[in-house]
Structure 1
Amino acid sequence: MNALAPLATSALLGTERRAPDWPMLEGALGTLLSRIPRDSVEKALLQAAGVLGTCQLAGFLPARAGNVPAPATDDALPEDSRIDLLTSILTDGPERLQAEAFIKIAAAGRQLPHRLLPRALECGRRSVALRPSLLRVLGRRGEWLAAQNDSWAYAVGGGSAETLIDDVWQHGSLDQRRLYLVALRERDAAKARELVREAMSTEGAKERTAFIECLATGLTMDDQDLLESTLTDKSKEARQTAARLLSTLPESRFAQRMAAHLASFVKAEKKLLRGTVVTLEAPNAFDAAWKADLIEESKPKGASMGERAWWLFQIVRSVPLSWWEAQTGMNPAECLALAQKSDWKDALLQGWAEAQAAQRRVEWAEAFLGISLPPNGPLTVFDLLETLPPTLRETYFLKLVTDNDAKMIALSTIVDRFIKGLPMDAPMLSPAVAVKAVKILKQRIHSGEARYDWQLRHSLVELACLLPVAAFDDLAKGWELAKEETQPFAEAIARIGIVLDQRKQLQNP
């Protein structure tokens, strides 16, 4: 670790929380640092960082290692021989292409060539999303190399959270501690929960809120007691986060209480000729007991809905969506249709939108995609797409690209948000959807409609990483480069050809 790193940690955490680890250096640099007065710790830290930063920019010789590390043990798997191809991909290939390369290497029972390990570890340092696929192909030598550089510590011990507890949980930045908790939740949810429980009595409001949010990973009824206790936290944000998570657990005490609050306002009656008729009314008066469940009596300034609607909205957003289906006998689309005709339309739709943002129900996502979403709400079309399974997701993606109404959204936004919502190991688009989407995108570009959509150049290259082999030629060929409307995309089209060629080579181990 260089001398700047511990000072940076102290600056991020605050010198009261972690005292600076003053560098002890020899020679002229050490003499200069020793002359910095330390009557003000904060000022001394910044001055020392300024000296070290200037020296680092000017260049320095690394210190001679006192103890040479033991050699790495031999790897059990052979190295992949495609060094030139992998070098090119790791140097300037899209992240999704890099992930595909790692996945293909692992599937072939190989590991990365040793000479490419530093480059690959740097890619993983920059992108957390790449790490799961990268860790599979580092081998023993890659893990040994990672142990020699603190910047690559994520790869030590197979990237397990246990290896990071002292360094990250105790002294890391808030983002690092959040990442640690999420990783630990996936391996040992109970241990992560206990760390959060302990932190709730010692950390600031921002940290408490962030750590409670991490419980969303692997959330179960075992987390109920901790979340219930957070409903009385001093931080409003922490309380609201805990309530939102509890609302996603239909069997939780909180969700049951909210459903009980709502039950008295919703009636489903069977009529002889009309079938089941559902009626709903908003509360006539505020119940003081609701305050314990974070229902506020006074609406925010500027809120468009009335007082009764405000109370109803708060209850609706915290009730499990499954309750509505069970209580009314209606499916999500029918519930949304009922709301459209209700006097309490805004309270219902906005409440359900917030509930869907937290609960992420597939059936409700489909239903919401069939209506106009509440303005300025928590849901966007892309949030809903991310909830859907791959087959449905790509179907709605194609609909967005195709529909005239979608022209209000830039093509690059549609493509980019769709791709970013997919995990790195997501399956390729189906051939039929891929061919149709590429055809429409090319038509829009040739027509000049996307001439000023600069981000689309990058998005098309990313899309090339999701195409099945059957659609390669559809994207790589048939471009009318002589047209003025297409010329701004010339560089991107050449880049697409390179990426698709690299993907073809990856198909052959």
Structure 2
Amino acid sequence: MNRTPTPAEIPVETSATWEDLVTTALLGTDRRPPATGAPGRAAPIALLDAAAAETVRRRAGLRPARAAARPDPAPADPRPALPTAAARRLAMLLADRPGTGGGGRRGTAPDLMELLPQWLAAANARGFAAPSELLPALLDAARGRTDLRPAALAFAGPRAVWLARLNPDWRFALRAAPGGDAALPRPEDGERVRRLWQEGLFAERVALLAAIRAREPAAARELLATTWATERAEDRLMFLDSLRTGLGADDEPFLEQALSDRSRNVRATAAELLSALPGSALAARMAVRAAACVAVDRTREVASIVVEAPHECDSSMERDGVVPKAPAGRGERSWWFGQLMEAAPLGTWSARLGGRTPEEIVALPVTDDWRSELHAAWCRAAVRQRDAGWARALLGAPAAPEAGGPGAVSLAERAKLLGTLPPGERADWVAGFIAAHGLSEAFQLLGGCAVPWSGPLGRAVVDALNIARDAGSYPWSFSGVMGLAERCLDPAEASRLDGLLAVPDESEDASPGAGGYWAEAFQRLGTTLRLRAAMLEELGTV
């Protein structure tokens, strides 16, 4: 009587190659018996045993080879070590991962990843070095979030590039550090500057030009001039954009030449830069053209501004950056008019309009429905020319009725105008806006305020959130503002939230479950503020 042999009785074939074993497995032991010669039903067992033995040999065996060169040691980081408590906090922030659930409540736990940018900013301000053991996690976080990269790479220091050379997942650090881990040449190192400018990758050349421009504007402009005629149009546009840093009257001759560039985009950018120089020849030409379009009508009972938009876009206007073809749905004359107005120096209008101040000019009625077009162009001019006086006039009082909705100056335009004001004045204006109009239109304005928010601004936001809660407002409408508050509210305001943690009684017209949501949101806000305070204390910044 035949019996099936036990596995111990089956000889294991170790001479068969891995390819032979794979072929036998694919064809089947009936069609191709194993090299062991095991009979019948024992053949599959013999094949598996042979495959197991070969697997172990493949994993454990290593063919002798020439030893690879060791990598160069990581560069030293001379910055002071991070305090122990701060290092533990960083490890906690890096270990946190955003939730994967969609649409549900966030609960009361802080979003630690959203605190990482603020932590990095504080650590960089103190000049600390990153702990070596946390660099991989830090680079992984920066790989997944491009907004983190500048601060993360600054904190990681020279070892970020060293690690990036060893791991292709972190190659973004190489792109962000032109020239590898070697420092950019100094402007006075003429030979290295010329070599990198002529032979470097495009990203390296942009970084070199920006670095030199930040220190010696004239040297950067002269370097750009050496290859300007041979650069591609898209590259000329990027290089020209770097002249925004340190823009001054000395740049005018170069920019005037760029007005004749064969690329329309380059011409437009050169014209924009020249119009930001009120003393430039282009600004003077635009002032003449714009002044011909605007005047004060003194024949009316109340003085008014009358507008006569240009009837054509001639070649000289086009050379000075006026785009002749209007976008779809936009009239040509209003399109040309807006471009002239935003490029003209704002100092033109006091003399042209009877010696009036910007506030008085903005208050004048404008005939024939040109007010929105005119004020919008003046907004763009104030932002371009960084004119805080005109910005204040166009912003008006934050409590004015028109500030809360569409008007001659839109909310987006107000946000840009606020950027021309000092941080304290900007925060005060937004606080006044929120006190008068609530939070429904304030998100865009809050995003431009310095962090942490000033005391008046923070109190205005908390008061407005409390008013919205008491009014039974739909709570999820304010989740964006609540998220901003978690990142931007001064941690000193945490104690003011203690009275808002209870679940309020819900009125009949309130959104179902709104009270619980508001209580959770305020509790999370308070917890986050205390966590931010602890973070700053660990870094020694309070």
- TM-score range relative to shorter protein: 0.5 to 0.7
Which amino acid counterpart does residue 84 of structure 1 have in structure 2?
R
Alpha-carbon distance in 2 for matches of 1:438, 1:168: 55
Q: Does 1:395 align with 2:423?
A: no
Alignment-derived partner of residue 80 in structure 2: 77
Q: CA deviation at 1:249?
A: 0.4
For residues 25-82 of structure 1, give each alpha carbon's deviation from its aligned partner in whole angstroms, at most 9, with x where no partner exists. xxx9xxxxxxxxxxxxxxxxxxxxxxxxxxxxxxxxxxx9633222543745233211
Percentage identity across paired residues of the two chains: 28
Alpha-carbon distance in 2 for matches of 1:172, 1:78: 35
Alignment-derived partner of residue 537 in structure 2: 507
| Cα distance, 1:496–1:352 mapped onto 2, change above 3 Å | same
Q: CA deviation at 1:128?
A: 6.2
Using the TM superposition, name which of 131-140 and 460-469 deviates more.
131-140
Report the number of matched residues.
430
For residues 397-449 of structure 1, give each alpha carbon's deviation from its aligned partner in whole angstroms, at most 9, with x where no partner exists. 22343333864x3xxxx33x345435xxx452222321231121133145442
Contact between 1:295 and 1:315, CA under 8 Å: does it hold in 2? yes
Which amino acid counterpart does residue 473 of structure 1 have in structure 2?
S
Alignment-derived partner of residue 37 in structure 2: none
Alignment-derived partner of residue 466 in structure 2: 442
Q: CA RMSD in A?
A: 4.6
Alpha-carbon distance in 2 for matches of 1:360, 1:178: 25
Q: CA deviation at 1:220?
A: 1.9
Given candidates 210, 229, 237, the residue that maps to 1:209 is 237
Using the TM superposition, name which of 480-489 and 433-442 deviates more.
480-489
Alignment-derived partner of residue 358 in structure 1: 384
Q: CA deviation at 1:333?
A: 1.7
Q: Does 1:222 align with 2:246?
A: no
Contact between 2:500 and 2:519, CA under 8 Å: does it hold in 1? no
Q: CA deviation at 1:267?
A: 7.0
Alignment-derived partner of residue 318 in structure 1: 343
Given candidates 449, 452, 459, the residue that maps to 1:428 is 452
Q: CA deviation at 1:121?
A: 3.7
Secondary structure of residue in 1 paired with 2:347 = helix
Q: Does 1:151 align with 2:179?
A: no
Q: Does 1:248 align with 2:276?
A: yes
TM-score normalised to structure 2 length: 0.64
| Cα distance, 1:311–1:499 mapped onto 2, change above 3 Å | closer
Which amino acid counterpart does residue 464 of structure 2 have in structure 1?
I
Q: Does 1:465 align with 2:478?
A: no
Q: CA deviation at 1:485?
A: 0.6
Using the TM superposition, name which of 87-96 and 223-232 deviates more.
87-96
TM-score normalised to structure 1 length: 0.68
Alpha-carbon distance in 2 for matches of 1:98, 1:262: 48
Which amino acid counterpart does residue 91 of structure 2 have in structure 1?
T
| Cα distance, 1:160–1:387 mapped onto 2, change above 3 Å | farther
| Cα distance, 1:300–1:472 mapped onto 2, change above 3 Å | closer
Q: CA deviation at 1:478?
A: 1.6
Q: CA deviation at 1:246?
A: 0.8
Using the TM superposition, name which of 211-220 and 178-187 deviates more.
178-187
5+ long unaligned stretches in structure 1: 1-27, 29-63
Q: CA deviation at 1:135?
A: 5.8
Which amino acid counterpart does residue 89 of structure 2 have in structure 1?
L
Contact between 2:500 and 2:522, CA under 8 Å: does it hold in 1? no
Q: CA deviation at 1:101?
A: 2.6
Alpha-carbon distance in 1 for matches of 2:277, 2:112: 38
Alpha-carbon distance in 1 for matches of 2:196, 2:379: 40
Contact between 2:297 and 2:306, CA under 8 Å: does it hold in 1? no
1:59-70 alignment, distance < 5 Å:
66-70=69-73
| Cα distance, 1:145–1:285 mapped onto 2, change above 3 Å | closer
1:59-458 alignment, distance < 5 Å:
66-73=69-76, 75=78, 77-82=80-85, 83-92=87-96, 97-105=115-123, 110-124=128-142, 130=148, 134=152, 137-138=155-156, 144-145=162-163, 148=166, 150-153=171-174, 154=176, 170-171=200-201, 182=210, 185-190=213-218, 192-193=220-221, 197=225, 201-202=229-230, 205-263=233-291, 282=308, 289-295=316-322, 302-304=329-331, 307=333, 312-325=337-350, 328=353, 329-338=355-364, 340=366, 345-346=371-372, 348-370=374-396, 380-404=413-437, 407=440, 409=441, 414-415=442-443, 417-418=444-445, 420-422=447-449, 426-453=450-477, 456-457=478-479
Contact between 1:310 and 1:347, CA under 8 Å: does it hold in 2? no
Which amino acid counterpart does residue 381 of structure 2 have in structure 1?
A
5+ long unaligned stretches in structure 2: 1-18, 20-66, 97-110, 187-191, 397-401, 507-512
Q: CA deviation at 1:314?
A: 3.5
Secondary structure of residue in 2 paired with 1:258 = helix
Q: CA deviation at 1:507?
A: 1.8
Which amino acid counterpart does residue 502 of structure 1 have in structure 2?
L
1:28-67 alignment, distance < 5 Å:
66-67=69-70
